[in-house]
Amino acid sequence: MKLYVLVRKDLSRSQQAVQAGHAVAEYLLHVQHNWDNGTLIYLGIKNEKRLINWTKKLTRKDIKWIGFREPDIGNQLTAISVLSDGEIFKSERLLWGCVAKYGLAMGF
């Protein structure tokens, strides 16, 4: 299992890094069941609306996730963390975009 962090791309690069870090910290504080500090994968999501849509998809599939809401920008949802085998992201072609754009071997 890998820890996936979905973070908004409409934030600055530095905000993305900080918000992703907050989402990982939330996961470790509140969930931390099966992740052994192994593989960590960051995925960019267009905006808050799309990120909220992802939370709904994950919830419908009974996949646990935890998010971070940034108080400095009106408690907007900025990033979420989810422990997954990655199938949901491949089926939604979210990982395919990473592989196609960057030529990354994701190891699936």
Structure confidence by residue, pLDDT tens digits, 19-68: 999 999 999 888 866 667 778 899 999 999 999 999 999 999 999 999 99
Beta strands (DSSP E) in the chain are 2-8, 40-45, 65-70, 76-84
Task: Tell me the average pLDDT of the chain.
Answer: 84
Dihedral pair phi/psi, residue 69, rounded to 5°: -110, 125
**Higher model confidence: residue 2 or residue 10?**
10
What span, in angstroms and rounded, lies between the C-alpha atoms of 58 and 35? Answer: 18
Q: What pLDDT sits at residue 74?
A: 97
Q: How many CB atoms lie within 10 A of CB 94?
A: 17
- In CATH, the number for domain 2-102 is 3.40.1490.10
Q: Within a 13 Å sphere around the CA of 47, how many CA atoms are in the beta-carbon half?
A: 1
Which residues sit opposite 3 in a β-bridge?
A: 40, 83
